């Protein structure tokens, strides 16, 4: 079944969050519904959002930017103009895959979107989202596994993710209720990145955040939104 794309434009965060919850709750009441899945693509005015694991100390200078507590996974992130935010509202049971694969598919859609603009996106083990090499965002060399899941002696290692030389360009935070997803992914296109200096992005100290503009890609919000929307619909299909 085709996923319907809804281009919402610039919309306030809180009403959008409420609408996602209402849409998902309505699905719970209509078990077995044949209503198509949806993908909401939008842009938000400046806002910090806290995930369920969010700690207040990771926001140290909110200033005039509101902070909204949410029920998604993860820590604090920022949304603002110049960022494409995509909210897949997917019935995973009907789609036929589970949460881990769902996250992988979203990340793959972002990687393919970046590739459209000539940029190589990377995953970092233990840290959902997509990252780019700051010294060579267009190079194709693979990253070493970060963090290493086991040491030379074969014992398990529990290192924190290693972000050396990397910048985060897309953040991921999801919620699944009775097999139905909401919240989603945010891709930085051409933003004022200053608000990221007021927080520990995703709970990591000194994690650098970048957008397409700062790594040398000139792309409009509309173009990036169209490409990401298409890639998500393609990769989230059953």
Please give the full DSSP string across 16-78, using - where no structure is assigned.
HHHHHHHHHHHHHHTTT--PPPEEEEEE-SSEEEE-TT--GGGBS--TTS-EEE-SSSSS-EE
Q: Hey, what are 69's tokens?
A: 């507590």
Q: Hey, what are 189's tokens?
A: 């296109």
Residue 95's closest CA among 176, 213, 204? 176
What is the rounded CA–CA span in Å between residue 197 and residue 179?
35
What is the rounded CA–CA span in Å between residue 140 and residue 65?
37
* Rg of the chain (C-alpha set): 17
The catalytically annotated residue of 84, 187, 199, 202 is 202
What is the rounded CA–CA span in Å between residue 238 and residue 232?
12
Q: Hey, what are 27's tokens?
A: 């699905």
Q: Hey, what are 80's tokens?
A: 């603002």
Helix axes 221-236, 99-116, angle to 10 degrees: 140
Check if 180 is active-site: no
The torsion angle over the Cα atoms of residues 96, 127, 208 and 106, rounded to 10 degrees, is -10
Which sequence positions are flagged as catalytic?
Answer: 202
């Amino acid at each position: 079944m085709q996923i319907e794309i809804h281009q919402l434009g610039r919309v306030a965060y809180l009403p959008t969050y409420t609408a996602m919850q209402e849409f998902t709750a309505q699905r719970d009441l209509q078990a077995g519904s044949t209503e198509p899945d949806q993908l909401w693509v939008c842009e938000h005015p400046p806002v910090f959002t806290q995930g369920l694991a969010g700690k207040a100390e990771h926001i140290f200078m909110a200033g005039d930017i509101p902070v909204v507590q949410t029920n998604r996974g993860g820590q604090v992130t920022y949304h603002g103009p110049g960022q494409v935010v995509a909210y897949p509202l997917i019935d995973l049971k009907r789609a036929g895959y589970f949460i881990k694969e769902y996250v992988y598919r979203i990340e793959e859609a972002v990687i393919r979107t970046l590739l459209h603009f000539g940029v190589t996106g990377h995953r970092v083990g233990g840290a959902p989202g997509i990252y780019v090499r700051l010294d060579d965002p267009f190079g194709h060399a693979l990253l070493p596994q970060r963090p290493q899941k086991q040491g030379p002696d074969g014992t398990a290692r529990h290192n924190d993710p290693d972000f050396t030389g990397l910048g985060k360009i897309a953040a991921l935070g999801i919620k699944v209720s009775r097999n139905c997803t909401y919240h989603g992914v945010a891709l930085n296109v051409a933003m004022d990145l200053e608000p990221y200096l007021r927080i520990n992005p995703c709970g990591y100290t000194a994690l650098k955040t970048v957008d397409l503009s700062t790594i040398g890609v000139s792309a409009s919000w509309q173009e990036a939104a169209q490409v990401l929307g298409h890639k998500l619909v393609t990769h989230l299909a059953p």
